[in-house]
Amino acid sequence: MRTLYHPNVIEITLPTVLYALSDPIRLNIIQILDEKGEQSCSSIDISAPKSTLSHHFKVLRESGVIHTRIEGTQRFISIRYDDLNERFPSLLSAVLMGLKQ
Q: What is the pLDDT along the chain (101 residues), one digit of tens a residue?
A: 578 999 999 999 999 999 999 999 999 999 999 999 999 999 998 989 999 999 999 999 999 999 999 999 999 999 999 999 999 999 999 999 998 87
The residues spanned by each domain of the chain are 11-100
The answer to whether the CB of 29 falls within 8 A of the CB of 60 is: yes
The answer to whether the CB of 44 falls within 8 A of the CB of 30 is: no
Rounded to two decimals, what is the model's pTM?
A: 0.94
Which CATH number applies to 11-100? 1.10.10.10
* Distance, CA of 63 to CA of 46 (rounded, Å): 21
